[in-house]
Structure 1
């Protein structure tokens, strides 16, 4: 997949889907589908970096899919090119017609376009999907405007997914995404606390802009390089209050598996929320609770018949 931030380096002509696409959820997938199937040019996704809200609000934006994760998912979907267009205050202030001329016509030579119903662009969001449809009509370029996607009567959106994850509603987030919510990171050295308790954990270093679900304990499936299939596990997100922890960590204990993962990248798919993080009066109480967490994780992962092995 060709990746560029320079319009002069794009493969042309193109069939293009435009959007922020943070999360690549069910609504985004519907915008992407016409271009994924298009035969009218290099199948291209035009997205923006950094996230426009980060530039407009001047506040860091936590992302459901940081750039590397988004690119990996788009490659899996079969796209041939991704243009990561730099989003700057100057870019945000350009007139809609300038965006059309410099980006769509000159930079991409668009032959097929797909956007969501609420897509806006240009100074004060004065350009919209209807602007693009009028432009396409004048040039005999098909412009598809994808209507709002709903699930159970409510709009599918990145903000709704964040809200679900913030309350531990893993199944809701998965339904909106069309896949489990995943955390991808490198296994780094921790303080070995889990090993001392009899439950060794892989301590994950994640992209700093990755949106994390609420602190607590989760059942997860884990892809590791040494395993042919995903492994069951228990993940803890938080500060480990029993030990007065100060650092926020993401740690995964793999059930019925041992091995050295240091320096390797693993991918964790959330299956279910088990409980909030809390402080235990004694280490023995914590160990007892971890044993129970492992049993609950087996049940949530469909491994209930192995509960007696814990």
Structure 2
């Protein structure tokens, strides 16, 4: 997959089959669109093109709104899109000037002049252009003038599976990992750097890797204990992870800490990815470290059982 920063330097793409959108999370609703453009491209000896915007439009148009949390960073989204058969990923810097383009300007400049779109395939609710004033009607109206075809993924094809990025965010924020994973078609993941912590876990037999997620907009699931897969470039390990403030020891800041099973390596400052498999319990405050250790022993049994079913 080739990643293009903007559209200004794109060379002509043969029979460009195009879709566009934020595609946050690349969930199974998105995957229906990706599968369709791949099929059309294969039938026409063409190439698939996905136009997306970064930063997320809401981060630019509503910078005061801190409530938007995303399911995927741009690198995560790019990796997923490549897996689903995208040949060209066009990353358009989303600015206020870009947001002010009329629907026809967008169609003429981006779709026609720069990408030379052969066929445009969109979801039923796709909007574009200034004040989100463009949609399927505008695409169909201008398609003959700019020499491309338009296909809409029908409403029922998307809605019958009841998927949206908003529903997935809501599930994750309530700790409902199973529903989120079902809608994503894979395990939800969070990546970060391993940093030094207080090393309390080591004193009770459960050493943990503290994970620092640099992207403030990345959605972190609800506080609690989770069964996870811990991934580096080469391997996957089983583990149990805690998100929260560690109330038993009077913690004040939220942390993400993972105990990697059957593992004894120095991974400080390395990048790892966490795949969430199941929610085990909510975070709890215990009367003593002995009580906490006993609960962790029970948690480990539950987590190992959960992961053994994969």
**TM, length-normalised to structure 1:** 0.90
Q: Which residue of structure 2 aligns with residue 244 of structure 1? A: 250
State whether residues 112 and 146 of structure 2, in contact with CA within 8 Å, keep that contact through their aligned partners in structure 1: no
Q: Which residue of structure 1 aligns with residue 24 of structure 2? A: 22
C-alpha change, 1:29 and 1:11, in structure 2 (3 Å) is farther
Per-residue deviation, 1:140: 4.8
Q: Which residue of structure 1 aligns with residue 216 of structure 2? A: 208
Q: Which residue of structure 1 aligns with residue 89 of structure 2? A: 82
Per-residue deviation, 1:78: 3.1
Q: Which residue of structure 2 aligns with residue 270 of structure 1? A: 276
Is the deviation greater in 292-301 or in 85-94?
A: 85-94
Alpha-carbon distance in structure 2 between the residues aligned to 1:79 and 1:36? 7
Alpha-carbon distance in structure 2 between the residues aligned to 1:296 and 1:150? 38
Is the deviation greater in 143-152 or in 283-292?
A: 143-152
State whether residues 40 and 111 of structure 1, in contact with CA within 8 Å, keep that contact through their aligned partners in structure 2: no
Q: Which residue of structure 2 aligns with residue 291 of structure 1? A: 297
Runs of 4+ in 1 over 4 A off after TM superposition: 137-140, 149-154
SS of 2:308 mapped into structure 1: coil
Q: Which residue of structure 1 aligns with residue 131 of structure 2? A: 124
Alpha-carbon distance in structure 2 between the residues aligned to 1:32 and 1:115? 10
Give matches, 1:44-193, under 5 Å. Answer: 44-58=49-63, 59-60=65-66, 61-148=68-155, 155-193=162-200
State whether residues 194 and 200 of structure 1, in contact with CA within 8 Å, keep that contact through their aligned partners in structure 2: yes
Alpha-carbon distance in structure 2 between the residues aligned to 1:48 and 1:303? 38
Deviations 1:41-65 (Å, cap 9, x if unpaired)?
4422100111112223222432101
**TM, length-normalised to structure 2:** 0.90
State whether residues 150 and 156 of structure 1, in contact with CA within 8 Å, keep that contact through their aligned partners in structure 2: no
**RMSD, matched Cα:** 2.1
Alpha-carbon distance in structure 2 between the residues aligned to 1:251 and 1:40? 48
Deviations 1:99-147 (Å, cap 9, x if unpaired)?
1111111221111222111001112221102321333345552322112
Alpha-carbon distance in structure 1 between the residues aligned to 2:84 and 2:289? 46
State whether residues 18 and 46 of structure 1, in contact with CA within 8 Å, keep that contact through their aligned partners in structure 2: yes
